[in-house]
Every structure is written in C-alpha cells, then in structure tokens.
Structure 1
C-alpha cells in the first residue's frame, strides 16, 4: 500500500482483483481493534472499572472511563467493515451459484463456534455469535441496492433509538437510581467468582452469558444497520474511490466530528455521571443517532494518517488482516491477567491503569501482526475460518479440479 495521497479522486470504483484486498479496509479494521480492546478491558477488569471504579475511585479513573465512553464507537465501525468485506469477498469469489450459500453457512457456523468457545472460556460479552447470526440475514439481503440498504439501515437505527429513548425516559420517571450499597453484594459475588479457579471463572461466564446475549439481541438492529451501511458503501466503491482523496476526507472529518463528539459527551454523562444510573438507556439512544458521525470522522482521520505515514498504515493493515486472531488474543491475555486463570487482578486495578496497559498490549499486537503477516497469508484464527469456509485448506485445489494449478496467485493489496 502506498502512503502517498492520490492527486484526485477516481471517477469510478477501482476494480478489486480476484483474491485481492482493499488496504483501506484492513487499515480501519486494525484501528478498530484498539477501541474494542479499550472497551473489553474495562469490562473484564472488574465490576466497576467501566464506570470509573467503585466508591472512592480516583478522579483519574473516573475521567478515563468517561473519556472512553464519550469517544468509542468501535463496534459500529467493525460492523460496517464486516458488511463492506462481505461484498468484497463475494466479488473475489466470482459467480459460484449455490456453492456460495454453502460457504456462507459454513463460515457462519465456524464463527458461531469460535464465539461460543470465546464466551464460555474467556469473555461472555462476545460479539462473534451475534455477527454469525446477523451475517445470515445480511446474506439474505445481499441483493439490495445501495440506496435501499441505507434506507433500511436508517429505519433500524431510528426505530431502536426511539424504543431505547422511551424505555429510558420511563426508567427515569418511574424508578429510583441504584445505589452503591444495593450493587455491592452482587459485585462481591462476581469478584469472588472471577478470582477463583478455572471452574469458578467458567461458571461466572455461564451465569453472565444470558444477559450478554440479551444485550447483543437488543442492539442487533444497530449492528445489522452497520452491516447494511457497509454493504451499500462497498457496492458504491466508497473506499476505493474516496479512501485516498485527502480533501474529501478532511471535509467529512470537519463536518461530522463535532456532532459525534457532542453525542458521545452526552452518552458519557448518562452512563458515567454526573447523571445517575437511570439515564443509561437515554444516553445509549443518543449514541445510536450520533455514533455514525463519530465513526465516519474516525475513519477519515485514520485514513488521513495512513496516507501521510506509511509505517503506520502498514502496521494497521497487517493487524486488520488478522483481526479475528487479535480479538481472541486480547481476551486471552486479559483473562490471564484479571481472572483466576492467571494473576487474578479482577477489581484490583484502576481504570486509568487498565487503559494504559491496553496501549502496551495493542502496540505489541501491532508488532506481532506485522511480523506474522510478512511471512504468511493468514493469522491462526483466519486460517481456521477460511479452511472451514472453503471446506479445504486455502491454496489447495478441490479434488474435482483435475489438473488445474494447485495454488492461486498471492493477493494483490490495493
């Protein structure tokens, strides 16, 4: 991938060669991994960490948690990129008839299986199972035009936002805020479970899994909307046409960043204070409506950085090519640090320290990813997923292929 900006935007979507990749997608996916790490690390570190710590927490911890809530919209970006990649993968595969459906089913089944193992063993807040299920819906909607896909996405987001806002306002009007004293017994049980042995940790995961799946189900319309937005963008060739148009990226960044940050700040006020716990759903209703602006702003900023600093682009692109492996590795490391699997530091580390350690872990992942991708085509989890999807190891020719070449040419990165 060249780090030099294009002199002018292309007039039409650039063609993606069979088996090729759009490097901008990998760069953005590599960036999104950092945001996912920031959010998941707080949730895995303790019952209070995502809210700035329990009673008596330091101002630094409260400020760190507030800032992450106000600025992080990574799952929406990741979901958008999944929809974008869905279109690219179908283009690369070419016309395949009914075989495409079978491949998609195998991919969804493998992704769901990885997600289930991830949720039970490492982190019950797994998103892979939800992605696998919604991916089947996306496959059914693959024929939508870009305009129709965007209209459906807007309706899904608006409908969910109205529902959350109504529930949130009823909560504010009819209930009392949960006090630390009321939450303390439940938090104490959770802390003891996560500091226990293997069976205790898995038991805690299983107890939390239904509520985690329920939360994912509640936000499924928003995730599907992001899928559809990515599908529409890919069909229009948005990143291929505009991904290196620095003037367009700067205009988009300036236009949408203020609204995105304002919505994020209001969300953080509802989730992390000064407003009390009753306002949580109201804040998330606001986030649904403003997160697309913040997500678009981040994407433009990252692409501007990638165009100006080639080493950064290369590191992010390498991480993005093995995003699934990195996602699972993050949970493995965090589980070993915070649960009884390893150090047992659950509820013993402040929010600011947790987030600082995320910077270190992400930096190590960038270096590891770059070195691994320089030697191989797939990360470990990606190789497994690809093998199950194809029904054979990548690069091998099916038995019915006769005397055709045994390996395809390596992908050209755009």
Structure 2
C-alpha cells in the first residue's frame, strides 16, 4: 500500500523512472520532486495512497466502527482503552493532564514483553494538554494509536466540559459561602481552602488580564478534576484577592494528603511558575473568608512552583482581622482610588510593600521604567498624605493595602 516515486511521476504526467522505492509520506514526495508544484505532488500522493487503500476500506471502516461506539460509552476513555488493548494485544494507559490514570486495560504477555514497544501520544486541544495515551504492544501499532488518540482527545474534552459545568455551579456556591451562606457545607464537617497565584508581573492590558484569567481557569479545572477522580466534592473559582487574581479550591474533610496531591497534579499539568498556599482545616462554615485569606497569606511564603501551609496564626492576626483595621483600609483605599481610577497606583503600592531589594529590581519585576515606578510611589504618597520613608506611615499603609 506504499506509493513509489515511479508511480507518482506517472500520475503527475512526468517521464517514468524505474525507481520503486516507497515514499514514506507526502512531504518526502515533495522533496523527491523539487521541480513539480508542491500542491500537485501532495494531491497526487493522496490519490495514489487512497487507491492502494481502497480494497481495505470496508474492513477499516468496520474496525473503526468499534472505536466510534466506544466513544459513545458512558465511560469513553475506559471503553476506548479496552478496545485498543483488545485489537493490539497490548497494554493501554490513558492519563489526565495532571498525571492521574483515567483508564487502563490489557497486559502484554510475558513471552512478548521483550519485543514490546512503548508508544506515547500526547492529547492536546488548542496547544493545551488534556492527557496522554500510552500503548505498550508489538511493533507496528503506532499509527493506530495516533488514530485512537484523536477519539481519546474528544473523550477528554467531553470530561472537561462536564467538569466546567460542575465548576460553574461550584463558583456560585463558593461565592455564597464567602457571603456567609453556610448551606452549601454539611454541618460539622471540616474544610480546607487552597489558593494559587501565577508568578510574574501583573498583566497591564485587558487582553493580558483575560489571558491570565483563562490560565487560572484551566488550573482550576486541573484541581477540580483531581478531586473529582477521588470522589471529593470541590468548589473552585478564580477570585480577585489582594493585589491579583488567584485560583481557589475548597474541599470538605480533613484528609492531610490532599494538599500534596493537589500540588503534584498542578506540577504535572503546567510548566508555568506559580505558588500554592493552603489554609488550616476549619470546622466553622462561616470561616471560609478567613480560610481563603490564610491560603493567600501562605502562598506568599511558598517557593517558586512550591506550596506552603498556613500552620500557625500570626500574633498580629487579631489586629489584621479587626473591624477597626477594615475601616482604616476602606478609608485609605478610597483616598487612593480618588486619584487612581484604574488601580495602577494601588497595585504598585502593594508590590512595593512586598518587595525586598532595590527599586530597580522591583521596576523590572513590574515591567515598568524606574522613573514610572518612582512617579507612582510619589503620587501615592501625595494622595495618602505621608512619606514612605516614615515607618509609622508605612505601617498604616501596610494595614490598608497589605494582605
């Protein structure tokens, strides 16, 4: 069923040659005939290839009908894995983008194990990983694995769509909990909150902010999928918190292994730089806001692509959580907002409060010119009525704009 250069030349109306060596693909054919239009070469190659396959098309259709029926199964990944393992006599593993085994079927016989070949096909949609197909079988099945990978990608996208629907419901429940409605948590059951922030300067344009939010939403889906595979109900949302957006997860129960599992899932799913913070376990459903603040505070102590847990309360936490501090913060934030409608001064001031080192380094991190950074800080001083070289003023600024 291979296409030879001799046959291809005849199909293109060129002089015949005795060259009967098969051409592996259309691009090899284009390279073999540099004087012919590439589009014509590709079209002729496809015609000859289809003609060679024509006698086998009924059998191929019957074979792939089984795979298509597996895609419509209530558990399509498992059904497709069983189908592929049965056809190849090999071992099939389907993994989610965060590394969990979604489906596994088949086993390579011991007598054939030495000759078995491992084929791994990434599953991606719009350059975003959605999983991986691994086939361990006798040589020659890689092309079939690539065909079935397309069906598995659809199956993983179906699972992602179902997860997105669950996340939308979870977002509303999360917001209700933060607003004080405890009806969405079983009474007396503890819960934990985790928060993730992407590293790097804050996005400056609307398009960049949309891209950052979309990236966080993808990571929300990774975490939601991780918990769903373990039978744990998880509420997740992208939320504006302090000086930037975070991906947040809330799950019931006190399983101490889940935070580490969530962190491992995120490491497997993305190469982006992030920091993950985890709250203490809480029993009071009215403490969801406190737990989210703990998780956000903990992530500031996490290493790059690492995680940290809020283990011990800060002795100043009662002051930071007091109504007096909230009133002070509201007043000072309003004063700054009067001359900072787009929030750039507030974001710069928060970055300054968390920075250790020279201003030049902070300017680079924020993707600003040093003079722009200095201007923003001076403007903030003018609006707030103080100087950042005054420790008492800095303390008040921290109480108003700090975490």
Tell me the TM-score normalised to structure 2 length: 0.20
Larger gyration radius, structure 1 or structure 2? 2
Whose helix fraction is larger, Structure 1's or Structure 2's?
1
Tell me the TM-score normalised to structure 1 length: 0.19
Whose strand fraction is larger, Structure 1's or Structure 2's?
2
Higher relative contact order (CA 8 A, sep 6+): 1
